Amino acid sequence: MHNRHLISLLGLGLLLIWLFASFGSFYLVQKPFTPAAAAALANALLDLLTAAWLGLLGLGLGHRLLRWLQKLPPSNPPTLQSSSLPAFQPSTTELLILGCGLGLGALGLITLGVGLAGLLYRWLFMSLSLLLSLALWPDFLALYRRLRWPANRPNRLTMFYLFLVGLFTLLVALLPPIDWDGLFYHLTAPKLFIQAHRITSGFDVPHFNFPFLAEMLFTYAMLLRGDIAAKLSHTLYGLLLTGLVYLTARRHLSRESAWPSVLVLLSMPMIVTLAGWAYNDLALAFYQLAALYALLRGLGVRGQGSGVSNQRSVVSSQKSEGGAPTSTPVASRSAAQSPISNLQSPISNLQPSTFNLHWLVLSGLFAGLSMSLKYTSFIGPLTVGLILLWWLMRKKFTTPLSLSSILYPLSSIFSFTLPALLIALPWYLKNFFFTGNPFYPFLSSLFDGLFWDQFRADWYAQAGTGIGFDLKTLAVLPMLAMLGVRDVNYFDGRTGPLFLAFLPLILLYGVFRYRARAPERPPALDVLLIFALAQFLFWMLGVIWSRSLWQSRLLLPCLAALSPVVGWLWQDLAHLDRPQFSLRRFVNLLIGLALTLNLVELSLNFAQVNPLAYLTGQETRSEYLTRRLGAYYATMEQLNQTLPAQAVVLFLWEPRSYFCQVECRPDSILDQLAHDHYLYGSAANIAAAWKQAGITHVLLHRQGLEFIKREETEALSAPALEQLAVLEADYFEPVFEVAGAYQLYRLK
């Protein structure tokens, strides 16, 4: 018996050896993929895992920060209805979306501090990430325990659309960077900071001194992995923005409008485009909408049919959001006992009985993070602050005038403005110490600035080149913006047809107050419309002033706030249905057609870009970049191979220097020759100044020069072009030329 058992074990072992040997020998001879394909897939997976790791760190850190915020003492408003206030208890969905955004912002600020200290080293950030992962492990577990399968699932067609859009976006985001501003400054500044191991001044690129929160995240990702992981961090903000639009619609408008609002947002081709680029627009739209969302939560706004009434407890609120229930009881009136039809003002509709200063602090934090991305972002926090101020002015106090009734509104404003200013302040202090101008390069008439003078300020502003106060153009400005016919950057600002199609309804509900007293109309609808209107008017002022600001991409915060509005209007069309004709079904068909055409366009673009060639190893990084960037990348490759390490190259009419491996000084605002002609006059003086600055070579971009000529820029005068001809004849020695587009010269 014992021998039989040994024989059976021996036979089983031999069979296992045979199975391993047969499978191994087969795939060793007939390999399922080449080593190049395996390496490419492994690289893509590592990029994806790095971005996911960064997102998880942000999620855990944000969860920890929200827990700390929870510990702040509550502050009760002096109203009769405020006898019991709900605790600050974000739902699971809010923890995931708002927490991740808050944590990513904190990681950006940490990177800023470490960079200013001169500690931008890969080993340090790898160690920091590992330590954070261990320290935040309890937060990850707490979030995991709260996860529930969402109850409000989309229908199959919606899921199919979201899957394809997400797949196309992700695959393109996994490609090497080719976007203009990414190669100009979004990725170039982090690369230079990493090379210097510190955030430093001395670069004649004004964009390096913009608020740089997104670029700090790019720096973090590039230290961990590389530029593709940095791009994916912006893709992550696209996912967060999509979730926030869903959350805004569901909580503040109606449950039924949640997924339609997501479809409206993702009907914009610019979302997919920007999600694959190393830009900061998706992050800006997220933080501005998050500031507004947190304000609405602080003011206690709930939508009609959103799953819970306006005054329900946090327990039922969290159950409706799919989170783990809490034990905070709240006794208050239901929404049915305080109908909207009895209220007087859209902003006074907000319920004071659930007023919560914790949410105002969170709103201020998000407002500060938005001001850490762009100078022009201040309009969002300003609008949110004015909405809060208006609400405080309209609030009815039921107690006699007292010191507390006076101090409470001040504490509310303080709770919003102080976090916003503290979070945004580091970027402006950095600018002041680096350049002498906290708003560099703007407001140069008030502050001196490094590398800056009135000539460059006028060149950059292009004041007076906008549409002016042309009433006909202003009247059709929304249509022109959404059609994109005058956009200076057409491909990154396409809005799709839905906002234009719903524009009459937006005006009808917003301006003419249609159905203002209908019980189905949620109070937050007016707040979202006010926020979007402020964003649009600010953009319109820029378009009036300068043609360089005619970029529909800059309207993204406005359109993100309008997405829940359009989603709700889409659902509200049902009240216009007639027995003979259903307007809602007809609109459904049109929107379905628009989304189908959007998928067709995405598919064609996907086929043209052909990301699978790179992702499967059929195409190297260099081959892909040459195919997509053409003469520019070929020039960078030849420049890197030809010039010695100590070369210093001055670019003319080419602002992109990311792929340059020697020291390159880009023509950041395309004014290098014009400004030097203004300063030095003759070609001899210009060449001498360049020599004194250490310039050894000059790269001339002919197509960039032709672009400036077509723009009819007055500052690039005929005498300046004459001096360029003298420079080429007497002071430039040709080194190489690429496709007639670029010429590299040695400076004599």
Give the model confidence (pLDDT) of 175-228 as tens digits: 999 999 999 999 999 999 999 999 998 888 999 999 999 999 999 999 999 999
Query: For residue 546, what pLDDT is reported?
Result: 78
SS3 548: helix
Tell me what the mean pLDDT of segment 64-88 comes to.
Answer: 65
Identify whether residues 584 and 477 lie together within a single domain. Answer: yes
Question: What is the distance between the alpha carbons of residues 480 and 487, in angstroms, rounded to a whole number?
Answer: 9
Considering 561, 590, 619, which residue would you say is the last residue of a domain? 590
Given a cut of 70, whether residue 323 has pLDDT beyond it is no
Asked whether 499 and 559 are in contact (CB, 8 A), the reply is yes
Query: For residue 483, what pLDDT is reported?
Result: 80
Looking at the domain assignment, is residue 585 inside a domain?
Answer: yes
Among 392-406, 490-504, 571-585, the least confident range? 392-406
Residue holding tokens 């909580």?
Answer: 251
DSSP designation for 699: E
The edge-to-edge listing of strands for the beta sheet with 648-652 is 663-665, 648-652, 697-701, 742-747, 732-738
Query: For residue 324, what pLDDT is reported?
Result: 39
Given a cut of 70, whether residue 304 has pLDDT beyond it is no
Identify whether residues 545 and 641 lie together within a single domain. Answer: no
Identify whether residues 477 and 581 lie together within a single domain. Answer: yes
Given a cut of 90, whether residue 231 has pLDDT beyond it is yes
Q: Name the token pair of 209.
A: 């001194």
Query: For residue 560, what pLDDT is reported?
Result: 96
Given a cut of 80, whether residue 555 has pLDDT beyond it is yes
Asked whether 631 and 741 are in contact (CB, 8 A), the reply is yes
683-692 helix and 718-730 helix, angle to the nearest 10 degrees: 60
C-alpha torsion 264→270→271→272, nearest 10 = 110
Query: For residue 405, what pLDDT is reported?
Result: 58
Looking at the domain assignment, is residue 382 inside a domain?
Answer: no
Indicate the pLDDT class of residue 275, thresholds 50, 70 and 90. very high
Looking at the domain assignment, is residue 614 inside a domain?
Answer: no
Taking only the tens place, the pLDDT of each residue in 20-50 is: 888 888 888 877 778 888 888 999 999 999 9
Looking at the domain assignment, is residue 528 inside a domain?
Answer: yes
Taking only the tens place, the pLDDT of each residue in 661-687 is: 999 999 999 889 989 999 998 899 999
Considering 542, 563, 590, which residue would you say is the last residue of a domain? 590
DSSP designation for 618: S
Looking at the domain assignment, is residue 696 inside a domain?
Answer: yes
Domain containing residue 576: 471-590
Considering 590, 615, 646, which residue would you say is the last residue of a domain? 590
Q: What is the CATH number of the domain that holds 652?
A: 3.40.50.12610
Question: What is the distance between the alpha carbons of residues 406 and 392, in angstroms, rounded to a whole number?
Answer: 11
Query: For residue 1, what pLDDT is reported?
Result: 58
Distance of CA 13 to the CA centre of its chain: 57
Identify whether residues 578 and 634 lie together within a single domain. Answer: no
Given a cut of 60, whether residue 83 has pLDDT beyond it is no
Three-state secondary structure string covering 434-462: HHCCCCCCCCCCCCCCCCCCHHHHHHHHC
Looking at the domain assignment, is residue 703 inside a domain?
Answer: yes
Query: For residue 574, what pLDDT is reported?
Result: 85
Identify whether residues 581 and 490 lie together within a single domain. Answer: yes
Given a cut of 60, whether residue 310 has pLDDT beyond it is no
Taking only the tens place, the pLDDT of each residue in 452-491 is: 888 888 888 776 667 777 788 888 888 888 887 777 777 7
Return mean pLDDT, the chain: 85
Taking only the tens place, the pLDDT of each residue in 327-339 is: 333 333 333 333 3
Give 134's contacts (C-beta < 8 A, 6+ positions apart).
none
Q: Name the token pair of 706.
A: 């032709």
Tell me what the mean pLDDT of segment 394-415 comes to.
Answer: 65
Among 177-186, 505-514, 719-728, the least confident range? 505-514
Q: If 0-12 CB within 10 Å is exposed, 13-18 middle and 19+ buried, where does residue 151 land?
A: exposed
Looking at the domain assignment, is residue 57 inside a domain?
Answer: no
Closest CA to 105 of 427, 534, 556: 427
Looking at the domain assignment, is residue 519 inside a domain?
Answer: yes
What domain count does the chain have?
A: 2
Given a cut of 60, whether residue 306 has pLDDT beyond it is no
Asked whether 473 and 547 are in contact (CB, 8 A), the reply is no
Q: Measure the N-to-C terminal CA separation of the chain; round to a whole number of Å.
A: 95
Question: What is the distance between the alpha carbons of residues 87 and 108, in angstroms, rounded to a whole number?
Answer: 29
Identify whether residues 676 and 736 lie together within a single domain. Answer: yes
Identify whether residues 496 and 582 lie together within a single domain. Answer: yes
Identify whether residues 672 and 735 lie together within a single domain. Answer: yes
Identify whether residues 721 and 665 lie together within a single domain. Answer: yes
Indicate the pLDDT class of residue 348, thresholds 50, 70 and 90. very low
Given a cut of 80, whether residue 424 has pLDDT beyond it is yes
